[in-house]
Amino acid sequence: MNLACPQCAQVDQVQSVPAVHQGGSVAHTVVGGAIPVSYGDGNVTYVQGNYRGTSMSAVARELDPTPPLRGGGCFLALALVLLIPAFFMTLIGFLVVGDNHPEMAASPIISTITVFAPAGLLLAMVALFGGLYGSRVKKNRHLRQGTPESRELWASGWYCHRCGGVFLPQQTRHEVPVQQLMTPSTFRTYVWRAGGYPAP
Ligand SMILES: [Zn+2]
């Protein structure tokens, strides 16, 4: 396999895409450290605290195979917030039915449906938002894992630190030009496409 960069024809600055991505991501923990907080007006204050995070170099971020994930927290919050009135409307429904109103005895089925309709509607919305949250969580897990196709293409890319581009040294089963330098974001778009995710 010829690993020479198609642009500068050198191999010394060429590194595989997963290695560049891994090498540019640094997990760090600051215990009891001083964290600078900027107020935006040039003043900086320091607060004590523990901080855990991952720093990624710009190149590592550009070579990240995971598409941007969309959180589902808002759906969960909506489901939980609606659960409270749904519970009370159900409770009120049972209290009304338990009161044995004479007008309910005339058409008990229609009356019962009417009494429980608000609770039913709220519960349906809870189920809807709960379901949306579940599907978002599932989709994000899938995006994080990637597909065998996207992983394979990602792992067969090589990055030239001198030219700042990615190339494929040899033919893959994906429709990506071989021996041609492309920007990291173009390569990432190919990877996402291979995984079946629409390009953002
Ligand atoms: Zn090069």
pLDDT in tens, 108-159: 788 888 888 999 999 999 999 999 999 999 888 888 888 888 899 999 999 9
pLDDT band at 99 (very low <50, low <70, confident <90, very high): confident
- Residue 33 CA to ligand 1 center (angstroms) comes to 40
Kindly give the distance from the C-alpha atom of residue 177 to the centroid of ligand 1, in angstroms, as a whole number: 16
d(CA 73, CA 130): 10
The token pair that represents 28 in the structure block:
């760090």
Instruction: Collect contacts of 105-108 with beta carbons under 8 A, ≥24 apart.
Output: none
Q: What is the pLDDT of residue 110?
A: 84
pLDDT of residue 72: 84
Banded model confidence at residue 183, pLDDT cuts 50, 70, 90: very high
DSSP letter string, 73-92? HHHHHHHHHHHHHHHHHHHH
**The Cα angle at residue 55 between residues 54 and 60, in degrees rounded to 5:** 115
Bridge partners, 26 (sequence order): 55
Lookup: tokens for 37: 């907080």
Cα(2) to centroid(ligand 1), Å: 13
This model's pTM is above 0.75:
no
Q: Give the pLDDT score at 142.
A: 81
pLDDT at position 102 is: 76
Which of 150, 156, 151, 163 lies closest to 14, judged by CA?
163
Residue 190 pLDDT greater than 70, yes or no: yes
What is the spatial distance between Cα 83 and Cα 115, in angstroms, rounded to a whole number? Answer: 18
Q: Ligand 1: distance of its center to the CA of 26 in Å?
A: 25
Spacing, Cα 143 to ligand 1 middle (Å): 31
CA of residue 157 to ligand 1 center, whole Å: 13
pLDDT score of 36: 65
- Give residue 5 CA to ligand 1 midpoint distance, Å: 5
Range 57-65 average pLDDT: 87
Q: What confidence score (pLDDT) does residue 41 get?
A: 66
Task: State the pairing for strand pair 165-167/44-56.
Answer: unpaired
Where do the domains of the chain lie? 14-66+146-194, 73-144
The answer on pLDDT for 185 being more than 60 is yes
Q: Token pair for residue 71? A: 């959180």
Tokens encoding 119:
């609770």
Residue 23: predicted pLDDT: 86
- For residue range 12-52, what is the model confidence (pLDDT) as tens digits? 999 999 999 988 777 666 666 666 666 666 666 666 666 66
Which class for 174: exposed (0-12), middle (13-18), buried (19 or more C-beta within 10 A)? middle
What tokens appear for 56 in the block?
Answer: 């990624």
